[in-house]
Structure 1
Amino acid sequence: MNIALWVTAGMLAAVCLVGSSKMFVGRERLAAAGASAQWVWEFSPGALKAIGAVELLAAAGLILPAALDIAPVQVPLAASGLVVLFACAAAMRLRRGERATVTADLVYLVLAAFVAWGRFGPAPFTG
């Protein structure tokens, strides 16, 4: 169970790290990535930077606290935050009618919920 949680947290951290590029790349370049990236036009550049910062902090929060053994309770808290983030992303995609692209957000939501459940419940880092 511990290995599955580490692998899942690592995959989520990688996804969030890639997603945090919103902080450094302009909206025009993000929107040019394809039809699934047109949502960026609904957000201001500042909001995109904030979303990218949240993803960067989530990536760090999924790995660093446990790896450094400094407040490892932050891992399930970061995963819980990702559940909220991906739920909002899925809701936004559904509102925009992007039913084909909502699948990835739902998969990430389930993975984040798995990490939160596993680290709060059966495989915590302490106790």
Structure 2
Amino acid sequence: MPVLLWVAQALLAVLFTAAGGMKLVVSPEDMVPLMPWVVDFRPETIKAIGALEVLGAVGLILPRATNIAPVLTPVAAAGLAVVMAGGAVVHVTRGEYPHGIGNIAVFAVALLTAWGLLRSLSSS
């Protein structure tokens, strides 16, 4: 189970670093072809979402890898699950069902990762 958790953490961290990083450095106008939902949000909100995603990605790896406050790792995974739940709501209300399904899949992986990490913390 620990190896599977590390794999899930790493995959989520890569995904959220890329997605969040793009929201931080690319202008909303340039993101429209890939992320049409950005037209409904202020640039500051998009940057805030990007910052949450990047910080969550760091939280998925750093606390557990350094063994400094490892309880923050499942908290980060749960927080990213919340971000994905919000993303799913946005996509479904906009009729972007394939994107919503993707958000739900990532939500499930993040939630299962948080649950697995909490179980591993409580058993150690």
Displacement of 1:3 = 0.5
TM norm structure 2 = 0.94
Give CA deviations for 1:62-84 in whole Å, capped at 9, x if unaligned. Answer: 00001111100000000110111
User: 1:41-56 maps to which residues of 2 (within 5 A)?
Assistant: 41-56=39-54
Aligned equivalents of 2:12 and 2:82: distance in 1?
A: 14
User: Which residue of structure 2 aligns with residue 60 of structure 1?
Assistant: 58
**Where do 4+ consecutive residues of structure 1 move more than 4 Å?**
none
> Among residues 94, 101, 121, which one is paired with 1:124 in the alignment?
121
Q: Which amino acid aligns with 1:17?
A: T
Whether the aligned pair in 2 keeps the contact of 1:66 and 1:125 (CA below 8 Å) is no
100-109 vs 2-11, which moves further: 100-109
Q: Which amino acid aligns with 2:4?
A: A
Give CA deviations for 1:70-113 in whole Å, capped at 9, x if unaligned. Answer: 10000000011011110110011111111122121111001001
User: Which residue of structure 2 aligns with residue 24 of structure 1?
Assistant: 25
Q: Which amino acid aligns with 2:13?
A: A
User: Which residue of structure 2 aligns with residue 81 of structure 1?
Assistant: 79
Unaligned runs of 5+ in 1: none
% identity of equivalent residues: 37
Give CA deviations for 1:21-64 in whole Å, capped at 9, x if unaligned. Answer: 2011101111133xxx1100111111111000000100000000
TM norm structure 1 = 0.92
Q: Structure 1 residue 2 and structure 2 residue 2: aligned? A: yes
* RMSD of Structure 2 on Structure 1 (CA): 1.3
Displacement of 1:15 = 0.6
Q: Which amino acid aligns with 1:9?
A: Q
Determine which structure has greater relative contact order: mean sequence separation of CA pairs < 8 Å that are 6+ residues apart, divided by chain length: 1
Whether the aligned pair in 2 keeps the contact of 1:63 and 1:75 (CA below 8 Å) is yes
Displacement of 1:125 = 7.8
Unaligned runs of 5+ in 2: none
Aligned equivalents of 1:30 and 1:125: distance in 2?
A: 41
